[in-house]
């Protein structure tokens, strides 16, 4: 249990450095890539089944077998209540996972907006 929690924290801390490295746009591309890795090709959405299957492909068996975690990911991220995650819901969810990123990205986008 404890190790799972730690992994999650590391996962969160990963994002701000990615934004720094890739820039806001590059980071969003990465998020979209992540979405494509996890989606159900036919539906174009992340479903509980596609999440499980694709995490297995990615070698994340531990996450894959944690049905409770996967269900809560979908529940947390699902904004329109259809039980699946679309691309926008996935990206918003990823942002919400990282409080630091939320802060960074706000500054980032404000900057981008003032320069636009
Ligand atoms: Ca949804």
Tokens of 5: 């929690």
Enter the tokens of residue 72: 């809560």
Report how far ligand 1's centroid is from the alpha carbon of 67 (Å). Answer: 18
CA distance 86 to 59: 23
> What's the 96 CA to ligand 1 centre distance in angstroms?
15
| Percentage of the residues of the chain whose pLDDT score is greater than 70 | 76
With tokens 């995490």, the residue in question is 55
Task: Output the CA 81–ligand 1 centroid distance in Å.
Answer: 5
- Residues within 5 Å of ion ligand 1, judged at the Cβ atom: 78, 80, 82, 89
Measure the CA–CA gap between 26 and 59, rounded to whole angstroms. Answer: 24
pTM: 0.72
Instruction: Give me ligand 1 centre to Cα 2, in Å.
Output: 30
Domains, the chain, in order of start with CATH, read: 15-115 (1.10.238.10)
pLDDT tens-digit series, residues 35-82? 999 999 999 999 999 999 999 988 888 889 999 999 999 999 999 999
Tokens (6 digits) for 115: 């320069």
Select the more confidently predicted residue: 44 or 23: 44
For residues 46 and 22, what is the distance between their CA atoms, to the nearest angstrom? 24
């Amino acid at each position: 249990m404890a190790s799972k929690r730690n992994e999650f924290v590391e996962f969160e801390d990963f994002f701000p450095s990615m934004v720094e490295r890739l820039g806001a746009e590059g980071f969003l591309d990465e998020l979209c890539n992540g979405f494509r890795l996890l989606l159900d090709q036919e539906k174009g959405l992340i479903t509980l089944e596609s999440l499980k299957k694709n995490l297995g492909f990615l070698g994340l068996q531990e996450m894959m077998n944690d049905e409770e975690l996967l269900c809560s990911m979908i529940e947390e991220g699902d904004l329109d209540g259809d039980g699946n995650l679309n691309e926008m819901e996935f990206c918003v969810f990823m942002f919400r996972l990282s409080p630091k990123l939320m802060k960074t990205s706000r500054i980032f986008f404000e900057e981008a907006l003032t320069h636009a």
